[in-house]
Amino acid sequence: HAICFFAATFSMIIVVMDFNFLYRYWAVSNPHRLELFSAKWFVLLLFAIVTVEGAVSHTIAYFLLEATHDARAAIAPVLRDKYGIDAMTRTLVVADYWRDGHYNVRPMAGTTFYTAVLSAALGLMIYCGVGIVQCLAASAHRISGRTKRLQYDLFRMLTVQTVVPLCSVHLACASVLMLPMLGLGQEFLSDICPPLLTFFAPLDALAVILLMKDYRRAAAYMLTCG
């Protein structure tokens, strides 16, 4: 169950990212709606959405991405040679799409769900992002220049902090999971996923430092020893 929960967190995180975009969109389009994020029932609703999505993702990984004996035997040489792992005994989650020249419906159904979640999340992010830009452009005469710059800075920060995990975590892992369903090789992506996951945290922190003027000054002060 632990490895299935770990897999479920990838989709749970992207749902939380959507909430950030929704908050930023409401901040420029309907500021009065921001009060909802302080309401207990709304916070519980958001928590319930993430929990249900995580539970469904966990269940799908457990039942539809089961590591069968044939799947273990197929990947055993690769895992043994590259990582020194015994695929026949180690707990695994495997999307075994092809077997005996035919598609396996169960893993394909599981991957289709993850694809739908990722697509819906990206769609909402794009919708909110476009809406934010349009609202700021339309409100040029209703808000001060300083407020407008602040909103743009906050939106840019949110975008960068979303792009970094999307590229280094979600899209990379999604490619490893989805490309084999199309008959495309994914060994290269499988090799670069661990480094990308490792560097996600420092890359995210670096993006924040580069975007925030006060952080840049503090970093320059430390690097130059004052």
Give the C-alpha separation, 78 to 209, whole Å. 40
User: What are the sequence ranges of the domains in the chain?
Assistant: 2-223
Closest CA to 165 of 4, 3, 17: 17
Reply yes or no on domain 2-223 having CATH 1.20.1070. Answer: yes
Closest CA to 174 of 207, 151, 157, 197: 197
Mean pLDDT of the chain: 85
Residue 172 has a CB neighbour count (10 Å cut-off) of 20
The HSE-up count of residue 120 (CA atoms within 13 Å, CB side) is 12
pLDDT digits 0-9 by tens, 112-130: 888 898 899 999 999 999 9
Q: Is 214 helix (H, G, I), strand (E, B) or coil?
A: helix
Q: Looking at residue 140, what is its pLDDT?
A: 66
pLDDT digits 0-9 by tens, 153-197: 889 889 988 988 888 888 877 888 887 777 776 667 777 787 877
pLDDT digits 0-9 by tens, 35-76: 999 999 999 999 999 999 999 999 988 888 888 888 888 888
